[in-house]
Amino acid sequence: MQSLRQLRTSAVCKHRVCARHGFRQCLFYSVVVLVTFVSITGLGAGRLWAAGGTLTLNLVDETTDEPVISRVECFRVQPGKRDKPMPIRQTVDAGMGVVVDRSVLMELPDGAYRLQIIRGPEYRVVGASFSLEKTSLDEKTVALPRMIEMKREGWMSGDCCVVPSSNSLPLRMASEDLHVVAVLEGVPAKPIPHRDSDEPIEHTPTWIRSDVVSAEGLIFYGVDDAFRSEIAAAKSSTEMLVAASRSELAGQLKVGVENPFAWELPVWLASQKLDGLFVMGDWLRLDKTIYQVRDGRGEQAFSLREPTQVGRYAEQIYRHLLDAGIDIVPLAGGGDDSAGTPVGYNRLYVTSHHEATNETGVSRPVLPTSSRQWWDGVWQGRSVATNGPLLRPLVAGTLPGHVFEGRTGEVLQLHPELNLTVRDPVDYLEVIYNNQVHYSARLDEFAEAGGRIPPIEAKQSGWVIMRVLTLHEGHYRAAMTAPWWIEFDGERRVSQASVEFFRAWLSAYEKRLAQTQPEAIDREAPFVRAARRFWTRRAEQSKRWTGSAVAK
C-alpha cells in the first residue's frame, strides 16, 4: 500500500509593458511547498532471514519513469528515543546518508524504519516509512517528483569548492542533480558497488575541474603544478596573492575568497586581485550547525548561538563589499571543511551571457554548453547562489551582472521580476537597492500584489540584488542573486558606511597581528600600509555619496 500527500500553492502570472524601456515585463512567481510521504507496508513473506528482512528499493523519476540516482538517509524508528541513522551496505557514502545507484537491496534487522530520499533542490523530498520482519522479502519502487528542471530554463548548477574523496564524485553529483564541480584535488575513486567500471553514469553534463587549490582562506582556479608549489612555499595569504599576480598563469588565474570572515579580508580587497567571494560555504552544513566564526572576525552577537547568524553575516559582508564599490562576484559551494555535507548543497546556478534579441527586449537565459562557458558565466556574475530556493530573476528585463548606464539628471526606472520555486516555507523575499531594502514581502503579500514589485527609480550609481529567505531553523537557508550594477557618468557608488566597516576591520586585524603574530609584523607591514592607503582613498571617494546605509 502506498499513500501520497502533497500541498501545492497556486501560481500568479501578470504581464505589462514598460513605456520607458519598451519591453514586455513578466512578473511571475511559482511557489511550491511539497511534502511527499510513501508508506511501504504489507511486505510479502518468503524465505527466513535470521538477521532480519530485506527490501529492494528502486528509484525512478516520476515524469520519465527512468531509473535515477539519489541520496537516501535511513533511520531506525525507536519509540521514545531519537531515530537512529542506519548504514546501507553496498552503497557509496554521501556525507549525509548514502547514494542509491538506481536500486539497492536493504538488509536490516527487524523493526520500523523511515527513509528520506533527496535529489537536490529541484526535486521534492520523499519520505518513506516501512517495517521489516524476519520473513520480510519484497521490492518497492519509489517515484521522485521533480518540481522544476532548471536546465530547461537556462540555468545550470555547480559547486565551486568540493573536498577530495575516494567516493565516486560523478555518482555523488548525479545523486544531487549537480552538473559542475571544482574539486580541490583529484583522488582515484573506489569501485562503485554493482556497477561495472566501464558502465557510464548517465548524468549529462558532468563537468569536473581539479586545477584548484585552497589555502589560508583563499581559493585559486586555473593552477598548475608549478603554482601549487609556489602556494605551498608562501608564508602567508598576502604572499600567495603576490605569487598569483606574478605567475605566468596570471592571465587565466581566478582568485576567490573561500573564507569571507578572514582577518586579512580588508587587505585582500585592497590588493584588487580578487574575482569572487563565497557567500555560501562550509559554515552552512547539513551535518552540524555552525554558531561561531571559526577562523576570522565574528560579531559579539554570535555568543547568542542563533543558528542563522553566521550565514547572515557572510551575506552582510558581501553587501558591504558591493556598497564600497568593489566588483566581486558571489560564489557558493561546500568549502574546504565540508566532508560531512553532500556535494552541491550550497550551489551556484549560472546562465550564459545573452543579449536580448526579441521584440520585447527581455534577456533570455541560455544554458552553458561547455565547462568554460559555465565558468565564464560565474566570473561575469550571471548567477544565483542558493542552498534551497530556486530563483530566476530579471531586473528591467536583464540578467544578473548587467550594467545599467545613465547620466546626471536622468531617472532610470528598473522593474525587478522573479520566478521562484521552493520546498521550504519562505520567511520573506526582498529586493536590496544600495544596501537598503527596496521591497520586502511575505509570499502571501506578494501574491496579493499580483506578483508586482515596485520599480526602482535610480537617480545615481548603485547596485541591486534579490534574495529569498526561508524559515529553515538549522542554519541560513536562502537564495541570493549576483548584483546588477547602475553607473551614472561611468562611476560606481562608494558608501561611507561600508568603507568604514572595512576600515574598522583592518584596524582590528592590525591589533590582532601585533598580539598574536608579532613575528609576522615586518612581513605583513607593507601589505597593511597599502591597504590603509586604499581604504583612505575609498573614504575620500565616499564623501560625494549621500544616504549610505549599514547592511541589515
Encode pLDDT of 298-355 as tens digits. Answer: 887 677 789 999 999 999 999 999 999 999 999 999 999 888 899 999 999 999 966 5
Provide DSSP, 406-447. Answer: E-TT--EEE-EEEEEE-SSPEEEEEEEETTEEEEEE-HHHHH
**36: pLDDT confidence band, cut at 50, 70 and 90?**
low
Q: Is the pLDDT of residue 41 over 60?
A: no
Percent of the chain with pLDDT over 70: 88
- For residue 536, the surrounding DSSP H or E stretch is helix 521-542
Encode pLDDT of 244-271 as tens digits. Answer: 998 888 789 999 999 999 999 999 999 9
Supply 130's cell numbers. 516501512
- What is the average per-residue pLDDT within 174-185? 97
Which long-range contacts does 533-538 make (Cβ < 8 Å, 24+ apart)?
533/270, 534/269, 534/270, 534/272, 535/266, 535/270, 535/499, 535/502, 535/503, 535/506, 538/324, 538/325, 538/494, 538/499
Q: Exposure string (b/e) for 301-313, b if CB count within 10 Å is 16 or more?
A: eeeeeeebbbbbb
**357: pLDDT confidence band, cut at 50, 70 and 90?**
low
Encode pLDDT of 491-530 as tens digits. Answer: 999 999 999 999 999 999 999 999 988 888 989 999 999 9
What are the distances in angstroms from CA 473 to CA 305, 309, 352? 12, 11, 34
Asked if residues 341 and 287 have their Cβ atoms less than 8 Å apart, the reply is: yes
User: How is residue 366 annotated by DSSP?
Assistant: B
Instruction: Please give the model's pTM, rounded to 2 decimal places.
Output: 0.90
Q: What is the pLDDT of residue 30?
A: 43
Percent of the chain with pLDDT over 90: 73
What are the distances in angstroms from CA 190 to CA 70, 86, 163, 186? 18, 22, 16, 13
Please give the torsion angle defined by the CA atoms of residues 62, 67, 69 and 75, in that order, rounded to the nearest 10 degrees.
Answer: 70
Asked if residues 517 and 433 have their Cβ atoms less than 8 Å apart, the reply is: no
Q: What is the pLDDT of residue 19?
A: 27
Give the residue from 199, 196, 231 showing the smallest Cα distance to 216: 231
Q: Is the pLDDT of residue 13 over 50?
A: no
Say which range, 16-25, 165-174, 278-287, has the weakest mean pLDDT.
16-25
Q: What is the pLDDT of residue 546?
A: 54
How far apart are the C-alpha atoms of 237 and 271, rounded to whole Å?
A: 12
Tally: H helices and E strands in the chain: 9, 32
How far apart are the C-alpha atoms of 140 and 138, rounded to whole Å?
A: 7
Asked if residues 272 and 527 have their Cβ atoms less than 8 Å apart, the reply is: no
Q: What is the pLDDT of residue 354?
A: 64
**360: pLDDT confidence band, cut at 50, 70 and 90?**
low
- What is the average per-residue pLDDT within 73-94? 93
Strand-pairing partners, residue 129, are 39, 114
Q: What radius of gyration, in Å, describes the C-alpha atoms of the chain? A: 25
Asked if residues 258 and 161 have their Cβ atoms less than 8 Å apart, the reply is: yes
The values of phi and psi at residue 306, to 5°, are -85, 125
- Per DSSP bridges, beta strands 111-118 and 126-132 are antiparallel
Encode pLDDT of 47-77 as tens digits. Answer: 323 346 788 999 999 999 999 999 999 999 9
- What is the average per-residue pLDDT within 403-408? 96
CB neighbourhood size of 439 (10 A): 19
Q: Is the pLDDT of residue 103 over 90?
A: yes
Provide DSSP, 330-361. Answer: EEES--TT-TTS-TTSSEEEE-B-----STT-
Q: Is the pLDDT of residue 29 over 90?
A: no
Q: What is the pLDDT of residue 37?
A: 53
Residue 2's contacts (CB-CB under 8 Å, 6 or more residues apart) are: 38, 39, 40
Encode pLDDT of 433-476 as tens digits. Answer: 999 999 999 988 988 888 899 999 999 999 999 999 999 999 99
User: Does residue 268 sit in helix, strand or coil?
Assistant: helix
Give the residue from 502, 21, 32 showing the smallest Cα distance to 269: 502
Which long-range contacts does 222-226 make (Cβ < 8 Å, 24+ apart)?
222/249, 222/252, 222/253, 222/254, 223/249, 223/253, 224/249
Please give the torsion angle defined by the CA atoms of residues 482, 484, 490 and 494, in that order, rounded to the nearest 10 degrees.
Answer: -60
Max CA separation in the chain (angstroms): 84
In the predicted model, what is the mean pLDDT of the chain? 87
Give the residue from 102, 227, 92, 236 showing the smallest Cα distance to 172: 92
**How many C-alpha atoms does 417 have within 13 Å on its Cβ side?**
24
Q: Is the pLDDT of residue 152 over 90?
A: yes
**How many C-alpha atoms does 212 have within 13 Å on its Cβ side?**
26
How far apart are the C-alpha atoms of 313 and 302, rounded to whole Å?
A: 10
**15: pLDDT confidence band, cut at 50, 70 and 90?**
very low
Strand-pairing partners, residue 433, are 436, 464
More confident residue, 18 or 430: 430
Q: What is the pLDDT of residue 250?
A: 78
